[in-house]
Chain A
Amino acid sequence: MTSVLEVPVDPIVERRRAVQAAATASLGRRKLGSRVALGVCWLFLVIAVIPLVALVFYVTAKGLPAWNAEFFTHSTTPEGVPGGGVWNAIVGTAVITVVATAVAVPLGLLCGLFLAESDGRTADALRFTADVMTGIPSITVGIFGYIAIVRNFGYSGFAGAFAVGFIMLPVIIRAGETAFRGVPRSLNEAAMALGARRATIARKVVVPTALPGVITGALLAIARGLGETAPLLLTIFGNQYLQWNPTKPMAALPTLIYSYSSQPYADLVQVAWGAALLLMAVVLVLSIGSRLLAAYLRKERR
């Protein structure tokens, strides 16, 4: 009886149904897999953001109470003596960074110009050297500063500036080369067709056109140089008094943070937090400023 009413099984429909079921199952599996994997990525994002946010938060929260008028105007005092600041370290860091920048930026940009204008084995070798030098351990640069300067002239701000400048140099070279290479060839050729000398082209065409990139690179290199600690530990010796003269031993913010952090005295640790906040703020302002300035210069040009 039932056999009469039953529709005979169509093998094509059956097959289609089986394929659809398999596809649904596969899609379900793959969607689940995708959800899980992307969920893990989200989790990693959270894991990555927490310590970085915590760091900024802690440094700000612990550093701000140290900031007062004396902090920025007085030199360091021994533990237990109130009214101490970090003015001597601010001056030291400023002088060291200015000297290092004044030497490394022009030298690095000229080198970058050379690399941008030449192709060949020498340029390749120099480019590779600069690349490798951006990654050498900074402590070995400190050793170099000690051997080259301190051994001959004693501990001094200049020795620190030498080491910091040495670290900044390859960064500026590569940033400069990238910026100079971005200048359109047509501009170069137009200037050449007008009969300009190469130096004129460089000064009036290449450098102005590449300026946003050059400024960004230089500011980032300065930001990096500001925070270098290890090379300074081997070269500047430290100084508890105010010292403007870079031929003498100087204090600096990073080395001050390093030595005060392990002190058992709460007031010195407090000063270290304040100095850390100051250093972090300056570096962040430089980094953000370089981006904004570059964006502004690019917009201005259009």
Chain B
Amino acid sequence: MPRQTRRGGRWSLPDNGYRGLLAVTAILFGALAVWFLVAIVLQAKPAFATLGFGWIFGRVWNPSHGLYGLLPFILGTLESTAIAVALAFPIGLGTAIALAFLVPSRVRPVLSTTVELLAAVPSVVYGLWGLIVLAPIFRDTVEPFLTSVLGWTGLFNGPNNGPSLLLAGVILFIMILPTMVAISRDVLIVVPVEQVEGAMALGATRWQVLRKVVLPGARTGILGAFTLATGRALGETVAVAMVIGNSPYIAHSLKSSAATIPSLIVNNFGESTGTQLSAIFGAGLVLLVIGILVNSAARWLVWSTGNDSAGVELGR
């Protein structure tokens, strides 16, 4: 007679208990999220209580004179993100198209995997490389060159710095590029092959097929990738703090030092107390609100537009 096998239900919870356990963990997670939000709001409240709401748009950050203007940091965050995104959108999309359709199929998986892997490289490594390798190149070569070519725009006034708004934007661009490429590529390759073949049968060239069939079909997913990359650039802390120069003034040129909200928090956190500490938490709250808005917009774009691009995985 065979040995009696272990009964499946022996260690099992009854159905109620199992469901209860799942519900409790879910509630725990929800509570954690609420705690996170409430904690930051409560800690930022004293700043809003003493300074009102005007300090968010104040132009001067000078805690020793009681001035906590956040505008230079908000602008620095938006400007560095704008540089990164302006570079990453066309280049990322072009790279995704090349990876999805142009590269020989033998190299394709290798290149695609490499790009996806690079999305996992910690941002502090990008920052180290930017500070030690790229900054001297920017100071001695890139910035003088851009000044001589584009100096008339007025965007490149002042001395060549190395660490600058421009370098921060470029580092962010390199950092968000793998994300942008990986997600765009995923949505480009799921466009139905019948549509592509139909367009080709009508005599369209490869580019016409891409522009009139593939890109419109993948529009939502690309928009989602774009927004997620933007969110990543907005919230990046260390890579930016390492290469932006950290000066609390509104940048008057792409070559001048600036600061972002995350770099403000990291650099001033240690020595802050009282209103200043609360103002730093308030800066975190402002950043959080911007970040949540951008992210919700991304999710909403992907969810709401009917073409879900076959439910592409956007989480990273």
Contact = CB atoms under 8 A, between A and B. Distances in A.
Interface of A: 27, 30-31, 33-34, 37-38, 40-45, 47-49, 51-52, 54-56, 58-59, 62, 107, 110-111, 113-115, 117, 122-123, 125-126, 128-144, 146-148, 166, 169-171, 173-175, 178, 196-200, 202-204, 220, 223-224, 226-230, 233-234, 254, 257-258, 261-262, 269, 272-273, 276, 279-280, 283-284, 286-288, 291
Contacts of A288: 117
B287 A139 contact: yes
B67 interface: no
Contacts of B28: 107
B51 interface: no
A283 B242 contact: no
A38 B241 CA distance: 37
Contact of B128 (A114, A131, A134, A261): A261
Contact of B205 (A34, A113, A272): A34
Residue among A140, A202, A234 with the most chain B CB within 10 A? A140
Interface in B94-124: 94-95, 97-99, 102-103, 111, 113-118, 120-124
Contacts of A114: 22-23, 25-26
Contacts of B316: 134, 171
Interface in B269-316: 269, 281, 284-285, 287-288, 291-292, 294-296, 298-299, 313, 315-316
Interface in B1-44: 8-9, 12-15, 17-19, 21-23, 25-26, 28-30, 32-33, 35-36, 39-40, 43
28 contacts: A31-B205, A33-B207, A43-B94, A110-B26, A111-B22, A113-B22, A114-B22, A138-B235, A140-B285, A140-B288, A143-B281, A147-B39, A147-B281, A170-B315, A174-B315, A196-B12, A198-B19, A227-B124, A229-B123, A229-B238, A257-B125, A258-B242, A261-B131, A261-B242, A269-B132, A273-B128, A276-B129, A279-B124
A20 to B, nearest CB: 14
B181 interface: yes
Contacts of B19: 198
Given A58-B133, A135-B232, A280-B125, A107 B94 contact: no
Nearest to A146: B269
Contacts of A169: 29, 32
B168 to A, nearest CB: 15
Given A139-B262, A229-B237, A38 B12 contact: no
B266 A143 contact: no
A140 B178 contact: no
Given A144-B36, A199-B18, A227-B125, 16 more contacts: A34-B208, A41-B97, A42-B98, A52-B118, A107-B29, A114-B23, A135-B228, A136-B291, A137-B262, A137-B287, A140-B40, A140-B288, A169-B29, A197-B13, A197-B14, A257-B125
A117 B237 contact: no
Contact of A55 (B126, B266, B288): B126
B117 A287 contact: yes
B9 A200 contact: yes
Interface in B220-266: 228, 231-232, 234-238, 241-242, 262, 265-266
A273 B255 CA distance: 26
Contacts, number: 275
Nearest to B118: A52
B125 A55 contact: yes
B9 A197 contact: yes
Contacts of A148: 35, 39
A287 B153 CA distance: 44
Given A113-B22, A136-B235, A196 B8 contact: yes
Given A135-B295, A143-B40, A257-B128, A230 B121 contact: no
A35 to B, nearest CB: 8
Contacts of A199: 12-15, 17-18
A279 B123 CA distance: 11
Nearest to B14: A197
A46 B281 CA distance: 42
A284 B117 contact: yes
B98 A279 contact: no
Contacts of A133: 33
Contacts of A122: 26
A222 B130 CA distance: 25
A276 B22 CA distance: 39
B292 A132 contact: yes
Contacts of A44: 90-95, 98
B177 interface: yes
A55 B129 contact: yes
Contacts of A42: 98, 102
